[in-house]
Chains A and B, each alone.
Chain A
């Protein structure tokens, strides 16, 4: 389930929830039932107060006509842990890095 990306908004993290039931994994994933993955979407213009952090290169690119706007991408991510049954009915805990977007930036 994802928050609709409306055109014209500034670059920021949008809500994206991954439900293990929706992908049919709920029979073998014990916990969590899903996780808030989020995603980045929005316009990257010249940095303004309150705007997401931008790389220097992104600022240069925003200044140059014809180079196209910088990209709105994840700037900080966090991990999740998943507890599940495997094919042998063992209980497995796996840790995955970079699964949740905490912050977006212009790059």
Chain B
């Protein structure tokens, strides 16, 4: 739901800032993730001037580059997963683990067609009590992330598989940035199928419970990277 941009100077300013229209009403109150505050403080010129990383007033932050994450970008989004849904694992899974798998959906409707993704970092948090009970076991866990089709459709191509030692801390995994565009449709959303299986044949003491999933998405909007912004040689 978008509110039509009011005519006049405010609309012109919104367009200049690359925003089609202002969000309608007040947003749902939720805490700002610490990583976003950290990135904001590092990129804010006033904060940067006061900090030790600022060598001199002329040493500007590199345009269209998120130094802290080491990628090109001028837009960073923290996207919480919506509609995390657990489903039973396939009985024919190689490990035979009866733990559930999850489907998570990320709303990317606000990502403009002109933006190019440079980083897509998935962050998963597991319920603390269950994570402790589940324990890493001898072989730890294996996380697999696949593109998920629409409801009823089977899982799509696997984006990554990686070993996870413990579940007490958030699990971070970098997805191929192109995945955020490839799965786009109207309304645009990224649907992922997540599975956490024991890394060894021994069954885990308990299944992990996914408590929270979010996506840190960095994109470059080339319209906001004009040549004048580049530092002079």
Q: Which residue of A lies closest to B25 (CB)?
A: A27
- Report the interface size for chain B: residues with CB under 8 A from the other chain: 42
* Contact of A78 (CB < 8 Å), options: B60, B77, B78: B60
B23 A79 Cβ-Cβ under 8 A? no
Binds B, one of A6-14, A38-46, A47-55, A88-96: A88-96
Q: Which residue of A lies closest to B36 (CB)?
A: A91
Q: Is B178 an interface residue (CB 8 A)?
A: no
- Which residues of the other chain, A, contact B18 by a CB distance below 8 angstroms? 94
Q: Which residue of B lies closest to A18 (CB)?
A: B13
- Which residues of the other chain, A, contact B75 by a CB distance below 8 angstroms? 92-95
A83 B40 Cβ-Cβ under 8 A? yes
Q: Which residue of B lies closest to A32 (CB)?
A: B44
A90 B10 Cβ-Cβ under 8 A? no
Closest 6 CB pairs of A and B: A85-B27, A97-B229, A88-B107, A93-B76, A81-B43, A91-B78
Determine the distance from Cα of A97 to Cα of B62 in the docked complex, in whole angstroms: 11
- Which residues of the other chain, B, contact A2 by a CB distance below 8 angstroms? none
Q: Which residue of A lies closest to B189 (CB)?
A: A88
A-B contact pairs, 8 of them (CB 8 A): A32-B44, A79-B60, A79-B61, A86-B110, A87-B1, A89-B27, A89-B28, A95-B224
Chain B positions within 8 Å of A, measured between CB atoms, are: 1-2, 10, 13, 17-18, 22-28, 30, 32-33, 36-37, 39-40, 43-45, 60-61, 63-64, 74-80, 107, 109-110, 224-226, 228-229
Determine the distance from Cα of A83 to Cα of B31 in the docked complex, in whole angstroms: 13
Shortest Cβ distance from residue B23 to the other chain A in the assembled complex, whole angstroms:
5
- Which residues of the other chain, B, contact A94 by a CB distance below 8 angstroms? 17-18, 74-76, 224
Shortest Cβ distance from residue A94 to the other chain B in the assembled complex, whole angstroms:
5
Chain A positions within 8 Å of B, measured between CB atoms, are: 23-25, 27-28, 30-32, 78-98, 100
Shortest Cβ distance from residue A10 to the other chain B in the assembled complex, whole angstroms:
23
B61 A87 Cβ-Cβ under 8 A? no
Q: Which residue of A lies closest to B107 (CB)?
A: A88
B76 A90 Cβ-Cβ under 8 A? no
Determine the distance from Cα of A30 to Cα of B37 in the docked complex, in whole angstroms: 10
B77 A95 Cβ-Cβ under 8 A? no
B33 A91 Cβ-Cβ under 8 A? yes
* Contact of B224 (CB < 8 Å), options: A25, A30, A84, A97: A97
- Which residues of the other chain, B, contact A25 by a CB distance below 8 angstroms? 22
Q: Which residue of A lies closest to B228 (CB)?
A: A98
B24 A24 Cβ-Cβ under 8 A? no
User: Assuming A90-B107, A91-B77, A92-B110, what are 17 further A-B pairs, CB within 8 angstroms?
Assistant: A24-B10, A25-B22, A27-B23, A30-B32, A78-B45, A79-B60, A79-B229, A87-B2, A87-B23, A87-B24, A87-B109, A88-B79, A89-B28, A90-B79, A97-B63, A97-B226, A98-B229
B45 A89 Cβ-Cβ under 8 A? no
A28 B63 Cβ-Cβ under 8 A? no
Determine the distance from Cα of A25 to Cα of B107 in the docked complex, in whole angstroms: 22
Determine the distance from Cα of A39 to Cα of B110 in the docked complex, in whole angstroms: 32
B229 A27 Cβ-Cβ under 8 A? no
- Which residues of the other chain, B, contact A88 by a CB distance below 8 angstroms? 79, 107, 109-110
